Structure formats: C-alpha cells, structure tokens
Structure 1
Amino acid sequence: MITQEQIPVVLEHPVYDAEGNKIGDAKHVFFDDLTGRPEWVTVRTGLFGTKETFVPTLEATVVEDHLAVPYPKSTIKDAPHVDVDAGGHLSQSDEERLFAHYGLVDEERSAAPTTSAPGAIAEEPGAAEPAPGPAAPGPVAAGEHADDAMTRSEERLRTGTERREAGRARLRKYVVTEEVQQTVPVRREEARIEREPITEANRDAAMAGPDITEAEHEVTLHEERPVVETEAVPVERVRLTTEERTDEETVRGEVRKERIETDLPEERDRTEQADRTGRDDEPRQAGGPGERER
C-alpha cells in the first residue's frame, strides 16, 4: 500500500502490471473516507491514453520512479467504468463493482463483530454501522445456470504509439580561417621625357634664363599599393526547426483464440463405424490362419 508521502512520486508516473508491462500513467489518487489512506489510483489506458481505469492500492508498491500493482494488464483494462469527475468521490455501488472485479473485500466497511477484542475501544452508541462490502466472487456450482451456451473468446491485437525522445539536435557556431585571393588594380607614375621645338609661342619662356648654365629639375613619382583589411558583415540567418514525417512500421504479436469442438454420440458412432470398415478392407497376408499357401 502506498502512503500519502509517496503520492507525488506516483502521480504522472508510469504504472506497471504484475508481469512488468507498462499499463499507462497514474492520473488521480482516491482516499478512503474512513481511514484517510490512499485506496484507489486511476491509470490512463486505451489507445491514446484517454481512458482512466481504477486500480486498488492495497498491494501496490513504489519501485524507483513507477508504481507496481499485482494485477495483469488485461484485468486492469477490463475494470468497470467509473466516472472520475463525479464529484471527486466514488459511490458505494461503484466501489462494490470495483471490489468484485478485483476479487477483494472491503474490510473497512464490513460488519463489525458482536464482541470486540480485549483492549478495543467501543463505538459510541447510535453510531451508524458501515455498510458491508461485497464478498469475493466464488465458484459457481454446475447446474445453477439454465443457459448451457459456451462463450468463445479470443484476443485482439491493439496497436498504438507512444512518444519518446529519439535524439537531440543543436546549432553551434564556430570560426574557421580560409585564404581568399582577389585581383586589385594598382596605379603608378613613370617619368617620361617630352621634347618640343622652339616656336614663337614659347620663345620668350625659353630665352628667360641665362644663356649657358647648369640646372637640375626633380619630379616625384607616385604609385598605389594594395591594402588588405576585413570587416564583419551578416550574410544569412540559420534557425533549427522540427517537422513531422509519417512512416509505416509493421508490428507483430501473438494472440490466443479459443476453439470449440463437439463430441456428440452420433459422431462417435460414425467414427467407430468408419474405423471398422477400414479394418475390414485391409488385405490379409498369405499363409494366415485358415488359409493354405499354394
């Protein structure tokens, strides 16, 4: 039985059956009005987890991060349907159906004995006696039912999906250095000699200086050199998104089916007659009793 301190560990955590199979996730916990102890836990079952089924916590245990119950998965899924949102309480008829389904007896609500044990505290006069709980279903004797029909059952394969983490993707930005080559046009100045004859237009300028003298004239040459510098500019934006893709997978499972065969007197007579006819038609070996070999 679970305690109130273990409820946070139970709610929204998996529930496993007696064979270690996951049934679903625990959704609600219902307490006993008389003792205040957790008495029922609802488990979301069904193909998409939309159905809530009641499971008793009398023999349930908390194992690490899940709840283990001593009932098979089929028994839990076939439990009587009870409205979970019906005021937050279970009616007496609902509890009786659940106790009968799981083969339990509500000992807290069973009739009190006429004599109390030594040291027991007597109840106050006039106190209402708790309603007796339903007894566990016992075997039915042969001949009690008038219906002689036999029910044939079979298992059906139910498939569904569960969402689980398949991996993680992340964006990571890092810096790499690469060499880039570009061609840049550069200009430079070169000295060039230009000669012009003496004409009437430039005669005065040519004769302005002394007749014979030494002189120098210097010209500064310039050139361009390539300069390399970098600047950071945005080129694109990258984001990580997810998209759903639907694939088809084939699942296999084993199901059991019941078969019904008949054993009627007329069928037994026909079978015995066919066996005798087959034996009479078998050829006899030569030299047998009452027959002489030729």
Structure 2
Amino acid sequence: MISTNDIDRISTAKVIDRDGDKVGSVGQVYVSDDGAQPLFVTVHTGLFGTSESFVPLQGADFTDGELRVAYDKATIKGAPNVDADGAISDDEQGTIFDYYDGHGAGTASGVGGSPAGLTETDTAATGRLDTEGTVGHDTSGPNTDDAFTRSEERLRVGTQQVESGRVRLRKHVVTEQQTVTVPVSHEEVRLEREPITDANRGDALSGPDLSEEEHEVVLTEERPVVQKETVPVERVKLATETVTEQQQVTENVAHEEIDTDIDRR
C-alpha cells in the first residue's frame, strides 16, 4: 500500500504495469484533501513522454524505485485524456473511475465511481504534489507537517599533499664532428698494345688500310655518400642510491712512555 511516506520517492519512480512491463515515469502525485492518502499518479507515456495518463494507486506497490500499478500497459495508455493542471473535477474523477472499473483492476479493489475509502469530497480538492504540497517540506501548506528540518555545516579536516621541491633531468642536443675513413675506388685508363698474331690478324685486317677512327671509354668512380639516422641508445632516469666510502682522518694523539734512569756508582 502506498502511504504519504512514499510520496517523495514515487514522484521520480518508473511505473511498471501488473505484467512487469515498463509504462513510463511518474509525472505528478495526487493526494486526498487531508493529505492522508495518495490517490493517483500521472504517468508520462507516448512518444518522448509527451502524454500523461491518470492511474489510481489502489493495489499499487513501490519497491526498489519502481511503482508497480494494478493495471496493464494498454489500459493505462487508453485512459481518458484529463488535463493534469493541478486539480481534477468531480466529472473527470468519475470518468477515470468508470474507465478503470470497466477494465478491471486485477489486484486492486474498490475502483469504480469512487475508490474504496474515498468520497467525492475527498477527491474534489486533490491537487498536484509539488514543493507547496509535499509532506515534510518546510514550506507551509495544507499538506505539510509541523516539523522543520534543522541542518548544520560541519568542518571536514584533512591533509593535502603539496610540492616541496623538484629535481629535473634535462637533455639537450650537442653537435660534434666525426671523421670516418671510407674506401672508394675509381677507374683509370691504360693503353694496351698487342702484337699482330695469327689469333688477331683477322680483326686487324678487317678495316680499310688507312682511316681515321675514334674510340671512347666511360670512366666511373665511387664517391662517399653520407646519411644519418637517429637510433635509441639508452634509457636515462633519476634514481637515488646509498654510497659507502672510506675517508682518512688525521688527528694528534698522545701516549705515555717509560724511560729508565740508571744511576751508576
């Protein structure tokens, strides 16, 4: 059973039908004129929650942030349109009760014409539950109680870690010259003479007796080509270590010595 103690919690609850299907979310909560009993909620339904449907709270249950009502999703969405403008008239209440009575409440009882334990006088002045009608709020109103909530500010003392110093490790670029010896080769021309023999006589006599000719040989050489690449060579980081060393300490020390004095006669 939903009581006034549940009003603040159900005002933001998800609405689940009797079959376990999600219907929408609570829009407004309506209570009796004396503020003793929550009577209806409106449920945001339709595309993007643009429609609101009234649902009686008889037979409803609130558990783990979900308000489970005693009607199925189709029945709730098909409820007559009533403007949720802060109050509902007697005729509008009758229309709502007649509709849900005709569709059956399942686990709910007493719905129809007027809900069980509720007269038309009780429901005529029901209004939207907001900051002016919420039970337990400090704002005066017909549905507030006689208690105030007292709050106080308290100091929270803790510790904060702050920077006390820094040790920096920097790197910079140094340019230096390196000399590398690279072997290179090149071609040179030398003049070779062959005597006329039986082996080369045919080649020697294949041309005219006297002529002017020109032969060309392409010479090649190797030249140094320098390329640079950057490669990682080591990882450097800051660390601390304990070093034990030997130190020499020089100090004057005194000691006593014994002398023998012999008196001869």
Q: TM-score range by the shorter chain?
A: 0.3 to 0.5
Instruction: Give the structure-1-normalised TM-score.
Output: 0.37
Instruction: Give the structure-2-normalised TM-score.
Output: 0.41
Q: Which has the larger radius of gyration?
A: 2
